[in-house]
DNA sequence: TTTGATGCAAAGTATTTGCAGACTG
DNA sequence: CAGTCTGCAAATACTTTGCATCAAA
């Protein structure tokens, strides 16, 4: 979806919920939507500081919590301490993580949902969400 | 595989590597192999304290690091801060995590390896490992 | 004007690390 | 006996939280 359109939609959503639209919030949200590298909280903070030099890292974290609550951002943890986030596609989809350069590449696998559903049914498990991470070397690092 | 047999194999492996077989190490390793609930480091530590009351949590962590290095334990992180471990099946396989009671249920999905391999090939990504986590409610919690 | 949001600093917490002494091989 | 392992405590580093102040509506 168009980034600008999505930004407007999320802003509307927050307004309807009664959340205040502070300039920091909008800047943080925009930064997440514009960045397709699955940034960390700190990377977003550094970016924001250019336009709002007094913004605190705590506010970035609080905004992330808000966005998680409304389902507009996905938190990705790969066991390297710092979380990375995906606000562009905040629904389950496979990620390929390069163990050399740290790149996180989005992927799509239409068959996955069906496979998982079937797998869960056998054990009476009702699915809420899922996550598929693939670790390895990206195209340029495997050369 | 038989737990006892696997314990002996890992002990042999450690011996061959020149690692010392201290009673703490063997107790920690046994505790992991006997426990099929994907325990945390602290849960194993509590268990060990019954037989070796002076064992420190640091030693548990150091042993976990050793077992990870030799590929005999898998670390599972679900974003709830504390890692959980799977020493019984230390190779990639799906896990179903109950968001209500916290249970982690092992699963098998033979087709997954092939699907992932195909997915990665399209993007020139070379796979090292993968991970599939399914979140939802287990059979008893969904009633 | 009201009340939620910000920003600072301090707290929180799983895991790691340094080091002296203990124990395996 | 040599050198690794243990156990203690301190350090680490990301994230959360408390609170006084600020600003959106």
pLDDT in tens, A41-57: 999 999 999 999 999 99
User: Rounded CA gap, A8 and A132, in Å?
Assistant: 30
CA distance A3 to chain B (A): 24
Query: How far is residue A72's CA from residue A66's CA, in Å, rounded to a whole number?
Result: 9
Is A54 an interface residue toward B (CB < 8 Å)? no
pTM of the full structure? 0.91
Q: How far is the CA of B41 from the C1' of D9 (A)?
A: 19
Residue A67 in this model has a pLDDT that exceeds 90: yes
Instruction: Give the separation between CA B132 and CA A131, rounded to whole angstroms.
Output: 6
For residue A109, the chain B residues in CB contact (below 8 A) are: 115, 119
**Calpha distance A61→A65 (Å, rounded):** 6
Closest in B75, B79, B127 to A136, CB measured: B127
Give A138's pLDDT tier (boundaries 50, 70, 90): very high
C1’ C4 / CA B80, Å? 28
Average pLDDT value for residue range A54-83: 95
Compare CB distances from A105 to B123, B126, B136 and report the shortest one's residue.
B123
Chain B residues with beta carbon closer than 8 angstroms to that of A79: 75, 77, 83
Best of A106, A117, A120, A141 to substitute, by most chain B Cβ atoms within 10 angstroms, is A120
pLDDT band for position B65 (50/70/90)?
Answer: very high
Total residue length of chain B: 143
The percentage of chain B sitting over the pLDDT mark of 70, rounded to a whole number, equals 100
Instruction: Write down the pLDDT at residue B122.
Output: 87
From its phi and psi, is residue A95 left (phi > 0), alpha (psi between -120 and 50) or beta? beta
Mean pLDDT, all residues of chain A: 94
Question: Around B97, how many Cα atoms within 13 Å sit in the side-chain half-sphere?
Answer: 18
Question: Averaged over A118-126, what is the pLDDT?
Answer: 89
Each residue of B91-135: pLDDT tens digit? Answer: 999 999 999 899 999 998 888 988 999 888 888 999 999 999 999
Alpha-carbon gap, residue A72 to A28, rounded angstroms = 13
| Contact between A115 and B109 using a beta-carbon 8 Å cutoff | yes
Q: Does B91 touch chain A (CB under 8 A)?
A: no
């Amino acid at each position: 979806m168009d980034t600008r359109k999505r930004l407007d939609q999320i802003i509307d959503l927050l307004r309807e919920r009664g959340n205040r639209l502070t300039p920091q919030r909008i800047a943080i949200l925009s930064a997440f939507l514009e960045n397709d590298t699955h940034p960390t909280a700190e990377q977003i903070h550094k970016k924001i500081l250019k336009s709002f030099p007094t913004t605190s890292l705590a506010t970035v974290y609080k905004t992330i919590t808000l966005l998680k609550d409304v389902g507009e951002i996905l938190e990705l943890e790969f066991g390297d301490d710092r979380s990375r986030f995906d606000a562009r596609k905040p629904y389950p989809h496979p990620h390929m993580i390069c163990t050399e350069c740290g790149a996180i590449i989005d992927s799509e696998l239409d068959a996955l949902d069906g496979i998982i559903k079937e797998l869960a049914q056998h054990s009476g498990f009702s699915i809420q969400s899922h996550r598929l991470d693939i670790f390895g070397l990206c195209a340029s690092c495997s050369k």
